[in-house]
Structure 1
Amino acid sequence: MLKLTVFLCLILYTNCKTHSVSDDKELLAALKDVSPGDTIELADGKYHNTFVTDVDGKDGKPITLTGSKKAVISGSNYGFHHQADYWVLQGFTVANSKKGIVLDGASNNILEDLEVHDIQQEGIHFRKNSADNILRKSYIHTTGLGSPGYGEGVYIGSAVSNWESNKPDKSDRNQILNNRIGPNVAAEEIDIKEGSCCGIIKNNVFDGTGMSGENYADSWIDVKGEGYTIEDNEGNHSLLDGIQVRHK
């Protein structure tokens, strides 16, 4: 997959650049230096720092961050804080952080073939109007180690109590596809908050073993948003229900 990504980059974007990194300082520099169409390749190893993206790719010229599962990103607060559009996050691991991957105001991104585990709170959070993203073919487990009631596998939007200026968090049209979520996800496998709309939750496999029950976390999916398509998912070991739909 790594060679294919670079090959396609060379064919499609003659001015694209590949940034090969092997430690946290090189990764920090690459995240600031990238341009649309570029690729950042992670060598196997541990990367611990405050990693934030704020450089946008473009439609048709995404920025790609790629590595193997042995490339492990972590941070004291967020493992990976993504605040940019048109990126592909591919192949690597995020672990041993307060929160796993947090998307803030980040749209039109693809997250695929990732592993997120050993997280104190939620694994992956789409918030602050992060829309039109795809999370697919990833494995999320062992979350909520420090705060079980806030240990969702995937969290879409924001609770009304966290809305800015009393305006809904329009983290809309996000797609959660073909993922494996659980075991040891302490809250819901997927929590969809009020104010968000029109996403797709499809072909995921849930394992509720280790669900804590705190903050009413007793189902694989908790839905307060509107207009969602939820189909062809399967799972086992829920505390109470597979899906709970709530009017908020």
Structure 2
Amino acid sequence: MSRLPRSLALLSAGLMLSACAPGVASTASTALPAADEPCAPGAVQVGADADALQRALDDAKPGAVLQLADATYTGRFRATASGTADQPIVLCGVANSVIDAGSVDDGYALHLDGASYWDVRDLEVRGGQKGVVLDGVSHTTLSGLRISHVGQEGLHLRAASSDNLVRAVMVEQTGLTDPEFGEGIYVGSAESNWCRYSACQPDRSDRNVFEQLVVADTTAEAVDVKEGTSDGIIRASTLATATEASVDSAVDLKGSGWRLEDTTVTGPVDAVSVHVIVAPWGERNTVSGSDLRAAATGVGVRLAGAAQAAGNVVGCDNTVSAGIELVTGRCT
């Protein structure tokens, strides 16, 4: 079955930035290159099979441009090499490039493991227990991806993955085996997993920027920001859970200093919730300029418990098209 290029697929899924973020450019640009056209200067074609892709990832050096074929790469792939600030490693697709991990019971479709300074763009990722996972990754850009049909979360940044940009990414149909772990985008780690991912210290996956996202049909939060993380941004996006998601809100902010702005959020009960799980996180978060679509019994932003006195700010410039009220507290 033919597919639209990623840039057009994002628009067809409903990411109309002029509606949710005036003044922000559309994600749609030009169509993806054909299989015989370079996706970036210096592109080297990767053979159209799983072994060729894993070899290319293993052998990648700073400045390499790895162009996938018009093909489906069946398997689970791991990158450990890093680029540099001046010479990132590029992994790019053409119109029908797909990574398919198959069974949703275990494994990661694409794992950047300590692999910093990458530019991963314009490909579809599906299958596996998790879709795309970044562990200990910094200064990496993910753009033009479609992540879907996974057993748990779609995209996970953890183990001090910081200073990354996620732009124009679509995540849908998560949690196929474990609905309670079916987040669309997951940042950091729960306190109970700090000994697993960050030497028993807070998982400081900080300063990550998420923009122009489409997240839909998730069985847990569309975006879950964990305690231990700080100073990230979520903007100009459309975020929604499945109707019967196993959570109360589409966005859960448990970190500190996060900004959610110019975004449409549709939640199963509340649109957004803010929690203090481990102090000092859960403080100084800001929600502004967004269309918050709660259920009839929910609120736009629920400041839960200690979050009400933790310097969190909910702007009066947000709108609530359903629900009881804008915020459990006062807007400013």
TM-score norm. by structure 1 comes to 0.90
Structure 1 residue 49, shift from structure 2 partner: 2.2
* 1:171 match: secondary structure: coil
CA RMSD of aligned residues (A): 1.5
Structure 1 counterpart SS, 2:192: helix
Partner residue of 1:34 out of 57, 60, 66: 60
- Would you say 1:87 and 2:113 are equivalent positions? no
Give structure 1 regions of 4+ aligned residues with deviation exceeding 4 angstroms: 1-5
1:211 Cα deviation from its structure 2 partner: 4.3
Q: Deviations over 1:151-170 (max 9, x none)?
A: 00000000000002420001
Q: Which of residues 217, 227, 250 in structure 2 aligns to 1:194?
A: 227
Question: Matches of 2:201 and 2:174 in 1, distance apart?
Answer: 29
Give TM-score, length-normalised by structure 2.
0.68
Match of 1:240 among 258, 264, 269: 269
1:71-220 matched pairs, under 5 angstroms: 71-75=97-101, 76-83=106-113, 84-164=115-195, 165-182=199-216, 184-213=217-246, 217-220=247-250
Instruction: Return the alpha-carbon distance in structure 1 between the equivalents of residues 91 and 128 of structure 2.
Output: 19
1:56 aligns with 2:55: no
What SS is found at the alignment partner of 1:119?
A: coil
Q: Which amino acid aligns with 1:148?
A: P
Alignment coverage as a number of residue pairs: 235
In structure 1, the gaps of 5 or more residues are: 11-16
For the residues of structure 2 that align with 1:91 and 1:209, how far apart are their CA atoms? 25
Does 158-167 or 201-210 show the bigger shift?
201-210
Contact 2:39-2:94 within 8 A present in 1 as well: no
8 Å CA contact 1:42–1:71 kept in 2: the answer is yes
The C-alpha deviation readout for 1:159-207, integer Å capped at 9, x for no partner, is 000002420001101111011000x210000000000111001111023
In the aligned structure 2, how far is the partner of 1:24 from the partner of 1:219? 38
**Partners of 1:129 and 1:207 in 2: CA distance:** 26
Equivalents in 1 of 2:73, 2:39: separation in Å?
22
Between stretches 151-160 and 27-36, larger displacement belongs to 27-36
Q: Secondary structure at the match of 2:84?
A: coil
Report the residue type matching 1:62 in the other structure: P
Alignment partner of 1:29: what SS? helix
Deviation, 1:71, is: 1.6
Check 1:138–1:5 CA distance in 2 against 1; reply closer, same or farther (3 A cut).
same
Distance 1:243 1:25 in 2: 43
Q: Distance in 1 between matches of 2:240 and 2:110?
A: 24
| Letter paired with 1:240 | V
> Does structure 1 retain, via aligned residues, the 8 Å contact 2:265–2:272?
no
Q: Aligned partners of 1:147 and 1:4: how far apart in 2?
A: 39
